[in-house]
Amino acid sequence: MSENCNESCGSCGEECADRKVDFSEKPHELSKIKKVIGVVSGKGGVGKSMVTSLLAVTMKRKGYNTAILDADITGPSIPKAFGINEKARSTELGLFPISSKTGIEIMSINLLLENDTDPVVWRGPIIANTVKQFWTDVIWGEVDYMFVDMPPGTGDVPLTVFQSLPVDGIIIVTSPQELVSMIVAKAVNMAKMMKIPVLGLVENMSYFECPDCHKKHNLFGDSHIEEVAKQHGIEMVAKMPIDTSLAGACDKGLIELFDNTWLDKIAETLESDEEVSVKGENKMKIAVASDNGMVSGHFGHCESFVIYDTIDGKIVSSEAVPNPGHKPGFLPVFLNDQGVNVIISGGMGGGAVDIFNEKNIEVITGASGKAEDLVKSYLQGELKTTGSVCHEHQHHDECGE
Ligand code: ADP
């Protein structure tokens, strides 16, 4: 790094090991994607798409909103595994993914090509651009976990994809026929370069279990995958057998019906690892204009605002903040400064409602009863606003007008 470095790497011509250039792209404005998990392999055909699909199915079964971005543009096998034959729809707003039978949102180049068998003979930059557009132009909606079936290898195309998508963690898939040690080293180094954690190593086609005698055969000789994982300080999260019924389910487009527990360990990591867990992401602060534990009829003149901290739909703590005093337009700004997302009150003046709306704070009026009960019923989706606004009644001023 030069002595005069001002960290504006984008406009600096110096060759520098600390160069920081942000190639990241913003997702579509109608997409809210919490975690992005990249699935990588050293070469094609080792089962990367299979592992991506099974992971998405496993997480969907656990109740998460799940999506697959098929970035393997030259070998797109995801739609087939899910039995998707229709083409993606687009409007002036953007491109819509196709929902699988169980509701996994999928985008793949095969959903855009006229014929599934059309070859994609594009060069690297165009492939990388297409993947970027799957991120920026697709209306994904609310997604907890997006799995990206990465282009195989550790070359230019996967690298560009890594740079444009905010990947939170990667899973490496290998098979025993490969030069596993070298492939894992390359993938681990790429992840290090991008400062992305490696969540685990999956060995696919690890063995074959005889359906008659249940003896396990290592068809490709003994694997040394555990040692390789240990060498790189990564966790061996699954050994998947060659399974003819799995291949059959994929061929028939019925992967969602295939029952297995092979990827349970990695699913647990996704749920518990701080860097990739979506648990606790749904935090919300709900304020209730209160008088002695009951919701107040008059927002501006309530005794206090009881502010409830909630995570994933549950109250985790509460604090009563005394009403700092009523001046026109002041309280909504005050509550916004406290980080409040929802305000519940009996009555409220139109001026206050407008300021809350401007600040994207949801307003529930017309509420009555115990403050805590109201918050609980809000969290269950049962508390709706009556929308009533105090106009010219005698409490006009008390309602925060
Ligand atoms: P990649 O994405 O690495 O190119 P795929 O996931 O498309 O590889 O797998 C290649 C082929 O191998 C597919 O036909 C798939 O159905 C099959 N396959 C992958 N893993 C297994 C497995 N564990 N048992 C049986 N067949 C498998």
Ordered by start, the domain boundaries in the chain are 13-270, 283-395
CB 151 less than 6 A from any atom of ligand 1:
no
Higher pLDDT, 94 or 116: 94
Confidence of residue 311 (pLDDT cuts 50, 70, 90): confident
**Which range has the worst mean pLDDT, 18-27, 196-205, 215-224?**
18-27
- 325 among annotated binding-site residues: no
- The closest of 243, 242, 202 to 226, measured between CA atoms, is 202
Task: Output the CA 45–ligand 1 centroid distance in Å.
Answer: 6
Q: Write the residue with the smallest CA distance to atom 20 of ligand 1.
A: 47
Mean pLDDT of 9-28: 62
- Give the CA radius of gyration of the chain: 26
Count, in order, helices (H) and strands (E) of the chain: 11, 18
CB 66 less than 6 A from any atom of ligand 1:
no
Is pLDDT at 298 greater than 60 in this prediction? yes
Tokens (6 digits) for 296: 């107040």
- The closest of 324, 368, 318 to 340, measured between CA atoms, is 318
Percent of the chain with pLDDT over 70: 90
CB 50 less than 6 A from any atom of ligand 1:
yes
Tell me which of 74, 178, 250 to substitute to probe ligand 1's pocket, judged by most ligand atoms within 8 Å of the beta carbon. Answer: 250
Q: How far is CA 23 from CA 6, 68, 124, 131, 137, in A?
A: 19, 22, 16, 13, 16
Q: Write the residue with the smallest CA distance to atom 26 of ligand 1.
A: 247
Is pLDDT at 369 greater than 60 in this prediction? yes
Higher pLDDT, 183 or 68: 68
The answer to whether the CB of 225 falls within 8 A of the CB of 239 is yes
Q: Which pLDDT belongs to residue 242?
A: 94
Q: Write the residue with the smallest CA distance to atom 23 of ligand 1.
A: 242
CATH of segment(s) 283-395: 3.30.420.130
Q: Write the residue with the smallest CA distance to atom 5 of ligand 1.
A: 47
The answer to whether the CB of 82 falls within 8 A of the CB of 70 is no
Is pLDDT at 371 greater than 80 in this prediction? yes
CB 46 less than 6 A from any atom of ligand 1:
yes
Mean pLDDT of 144-156: 89
- How far, in whole angstroms, is CA 323 from its chain's centroid? 38
Is pLDDT at 396 greater than 50 in this prediction? no
CB 202 less than 6 A from any atom of ligand 1:
no
Q: Which pLDDT belongs to residue 388?
A: 74
CB 47 less than 6 A from any atom of ligand 1:
yes
Q: How far is CA 8 from CA 11, 13, 16, 24, 368, in A?
A: 6, 10, 12, 16, 55
Q: What is the mean pLDDT of the chain?
A: 87
Tokens (6 digits) for 125: 């930059």
Mean pLDDT of 312-331: 89
Confidence of residue 9 (pLDDT cuts 50, 70, 90): low
Residue 286 pairs with which residues in a beta bridge? 308, 342
Q: Which residues contact 297 (CB under 8 A, 6 or more apart)?
A: 346, 347, 368, 395
> Cα separation of 3 and 184, whole Å?
36
Task: Output the CA 258–ligand 1 centroid distance in Å.
Answer: 14
The domain 13-270 is placed in CATH, from the list 3.40.50.300, 1.10.3720.10, 3.40.50.1370, 3.40.1190.20, at 3.40.50.300
CB 293 less than 6 A from any atom of ligand 1:
no
Q: Which pLDDT belongs to residue 401?
A: 47
- 198 among annotated binding-site residues: no
**DSSP string of 286-329?**
EEEEEETTEE-S-GGG-SEEEEEEEETTEEEEEEEEE-----TT
